[in-house]
Homo-oligomer: A and B are copies of this chain.
Amino acid sequence: MSDLLERLRGRGWRLTAQRRVVAEVLDGDHVHYTADEVHARAAERLPEISRATVYNTLGELVSLGEVIEVSTDGRAKRYDPNAHHDHQHLVCSRCGTIRDVHLQGDPLSALPEPERYGFQVSEVTVTYRGICPTCSADS
């Protein structure tokens, strides 16, 4: 059922109720939550789960490369569990909602209608990520 949990188990991740619930909240979702939203959803199933644990768990999932931290121009970071699938993001400039889109072809041409999910798309940005010369010198 859960791709994510299965992979984590395989990697010797210590499985606790809290971690399972966090993983289940994230697993496979194509609309991404902030840490606080993950906490709220996790707490529906496990009321005593603490914010600190949610933050810890999310941080670990990110280090393990199972989840991607996405931050937009909104306030809080959001967590994307689809690290292993190639995809792009569709971000709402007003409320910060993020959802995944999959596309083929030139990214700079218009997003195909079926991949717009009702958004009025106004902008495309391309970002390259890596290590800057200063940081690679320090290491």
Contacts and interface: CB of A to CB of B under 8 A. Distances in A.
Interface of A: 69-74, 77, 88-95, 97, 101, 106-108, 111, 117-136
Nearest to A108: B107
Contacts of A73: 69-71, 77
Contact of A130 (B70, B123, B132, B133): B123
A132 B94 contact: yes
Contact of A121 (B118, B121, B128): B128
A57 to B, nearest CB: 17
A138 B134 CA distance: 46
21 contacts: A69-B73, A71-B71, A71-B73, A72-B127, A88-B125, A88-B126, A89-B125, A90-B129, A92-B130, A92-B135, A93-B129, A94-B131, A94-B135, A106-B106, A107-B126, A117-B132, A120-B130, A121-B128, A122-B129, A122-B130, A124-B129
Contacts of A121: 128-130
B128 A90 contact: yes
Given A73-B77, A126-B124, A118 B89 contact: no
Nearest to A95: B135
A126 B123 contact: no
Contacts of A118: 132-133
A137 B41 CA distance: 25
